[in-house]
Every structure is written in structure tokens, then in C-alpha cells.
């Protein structure tokens, strides 16, 4: 099968571990085992990764070093995070494939993604980036830097930035050529570097982070993938999450998903974009499949033994997702 795999933060770094390159590479080496399993079984995969913590730290590094060397704009920091994370995945996955006697090129493509300059996301920043802070630390940062800070799923406070919807993957023709050549691709990293088109159809970077789940969905449609698989820290989608009456879902229809969204069952910036992205993908064409699962249950999830499989029962609903 042709599978677009979207990697969550847990696939790139371990919570509580030092934010070093060595620590990140160590986690990615473990992640590469699960990716290699899919390749060994004959699946053709494309990898999309997030970059929230990493781009946030790159921005912090730029700010602290600004007295020594000029700080880079936000979109450039996003491109830097693509290169850094892509390099680590390339290295770790190639090493794992070599161990298994599999000869397959692994390539990263620094990717630009067009967004609408009038997107509502610019008016209401929701995308968390950077490290977690206590409430007191967050209030101090707001007063000193004017950043927008929001509580993130009970784990602390993080800076939030604009998260516009992806409209067009600029390098898609190159991605298709490499994909059709049988290469393992890492692309649309961090949702892609967000750019807008000016009056002359030229591209200009903007300060934002596109949600990697929505970008992965767009990529999956463009590549006519069979499966969109979003790997995260939990085994399944849950309703009443964290409550005594929590229910883990083996399957979810679009109709059910819309109902749960109306009930605010899914946290914005966390599970909500994953649910919306998978619903959109399975609605886009008959026979497409979407899965939300934990990284360590990848094999079982592909075989329907773990994770949540999203089903399409009413294609008309896609337009309003």
C-alpha cells in the first residue's frame, strides 16, 4: 500500500529528556524501527513530521544570539527545523534499512506550502511551539515579549502561533517523481514552510506553523495514497478523555466524528486536527483509509488490531469539515 505516515512529537523526542541533538537522534533511531517494519512488508511510505518543539527552540536560540548575529525570520527557522529533523530521520532510517539488507534511498525534501494570507488562522493563533512553561513563567514571557501563550492539554503553557490551512504543496511535482522512483521520502516537514503568493505569483515566507496533520492529508491526496496514518502517543481516539467514563474507539465514522467535534471531545492543537485531517482524507475518495494509532502499535494498527480506523459513511459531509 501507499502510506503517508505523520509522526507526532513522541516519535522525535522523549518527554523530559534533554533537548539535545543526541537525545533526538536516539529517539528517532527507535522510531526508524517501526518505519522500517512497514517498508520491509512491502509498503511504500512517505514520512511527514511535526516540528513544534524544535522550531520553538530554534527561535529562542536566534533571539538569545541576536546581539551577536542577526536573528533569522520565523519561516527560515521552520526551514532549518525541516533540514535538522529530516537529516536525523534520513540517517536513522537508512541505518535500520541497511541492517535488514534493504537497499532503498531515503531522501528529505525541504518543502514550501502555500497558504492564504487572509486565512482565519492568522487572526486566532492556535499552534503550540517550543517548550512547556508553568503559568507563572508563561505570564512573564507574555509581559516581556508579547507572545500569545495557551495551556496545552494539561501539560503546561506553550507559545502559540498562527496555523493556516495548506492550499498547495509547491514541490509536489518533484515529490511525485521521487515517490514514483521508489524512494522513501521525508517531506512537508513541520507542515511545510508556509508561504503566500504575491501579485506577481512570487512566494514569500510568513510567520506561521502549518499543522503537520493537515499538511499530511493534503500530501496523501496529492499522491493518491491508500492510507493516511497518524502516529501519536495514544493507542486510540477517546471520547470523555481522562474521565472515569472514557471510551476508546476502535472505529469512527465521519458522522460520529462530526458529533464528537460538536461536543468538543477533542483538544484543539492536539487530537482535533488529527481527527479532522483523517475525516477529510477518507471522504476525498472511495476506498481510502485513515488510522490514528500509537507509534509502537504500527503493525497491529495496519492490520486492524490496534488504533482507531476512520470510516467514511457519508461523502457529502466532507465539504463542511
Residues recognised as catalytic: 9-10, 127, 212, 274
Q: Using alpha carbons, list the distances in angstroms from residue 108 to 103, 129, 144, 237, 299.
A: 17, 22, 37, 30, 24
104, 96 contact by CB (below 8 A):
no
What residues have CB less than 8 Å from 107, skipping those under 6 apart?
90, 178, 183, 184, 185, 186
279, 254 contact by CB (below 8 A):
yes
> Of the candidates 54, 116, 120, which has an alpha carbon nearest to the alpha carbon of residue 83?
54
Instruction: Give the residues across from 205 on adjacent strands.
Output: 195
DSSP state of 316: G
The number of C-alpha atoms within 13 Å of 61 and in the hemisphere containing its C-beta is 12
Amino acid at each position: 500500500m501507499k502510506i503517508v505516515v505523520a509522526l507526532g512529537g513522541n516519535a522525535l523526542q522523549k518527554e523530559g529528556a534533554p533537548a539535545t541533538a543526541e537525545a533526538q537522534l536516539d529517539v528517532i533511531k527507535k522510531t526508524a524501527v517501526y518505519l522500517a517494519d512497514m517498508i520491509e512488508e512491502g509498503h511504500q511510505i512517505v514520512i511527514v513530521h511535526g516540528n513544534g518543539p524544535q522550531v520553538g527552540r530554534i527561535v529562542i536560540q536566534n533571539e538569545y544570539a541576536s546581539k551577536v548575529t542577526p536573528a533569522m525570520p520565523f519561516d527560515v527557522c521552520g526551514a532549518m527545523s525541516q533540514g535538522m529533523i529530516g537529516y536525523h530521520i534520513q540517517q536513522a532510517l537508512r541505518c535500520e534499512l541497511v541492517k535488514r539488507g534493504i537497499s532503498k534511498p531515503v531522501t528529505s525534501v525541504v518543502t514550501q506550502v502555500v497558504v492564504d494570507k487572509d486565512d482565519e488562522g492568522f487572526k486566532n493563533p492556535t499552534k503550540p511551539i517550543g517548550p512547556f512553561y508553568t503559568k507563572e513563567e508563561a505570564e512573564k514571557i507574555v509581559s516581556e515579549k508579547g507572545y500569545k501563550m495557551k495551556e496545552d492539554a494539561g501539560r503546561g503553557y506553550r507559545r502559540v502561533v498562527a496555523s493556516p490551512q495548506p492550499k498547495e504543496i509547491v514541490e509536489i511535482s518533484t515529490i511525485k517523481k521521487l515517490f514514483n522512483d521508489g524512494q522513501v521520502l521525508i517531506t512537508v516537514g513541520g507542515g511545510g514552510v508556509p508561504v503566500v503568493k504575491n501579485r506577481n505569483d512570487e512566494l514569500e515566507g510568513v510567520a506561521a506553523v502549518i499543522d503537520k496533520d493537515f499538511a499530511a492529508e493534503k500530501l496523501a491526496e496529492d499522491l493518491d495514497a491508500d492510507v493516511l496514518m497518524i502516529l501519536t502517543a495514544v493507542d486510540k481516539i477517546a471520547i470523555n478523555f481522562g474521565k472515569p467514563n472514557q471510551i476508546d474507539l476502535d472505529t469512527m465514522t465521519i458522522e460520529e466524528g462530526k458529533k464528537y467535534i460538536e461536543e468538543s471531545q477533542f483538544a484543539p492543537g492536539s487530537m482535533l486536527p488529527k481527527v479532522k485531517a483523517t475525516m477529510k482524507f477518507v471522504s476525498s475518495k472511495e476506498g481510502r483509509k485513515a488510522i490514528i494509532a500509537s507509534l509502537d502499535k504500527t503493525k497491529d494498527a495496519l492490520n486492524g488490531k490496534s488504533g482507531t480506523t476512520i470510516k467514511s459513511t457519508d461523502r457529502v459531509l466532507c465539504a463542511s469539515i
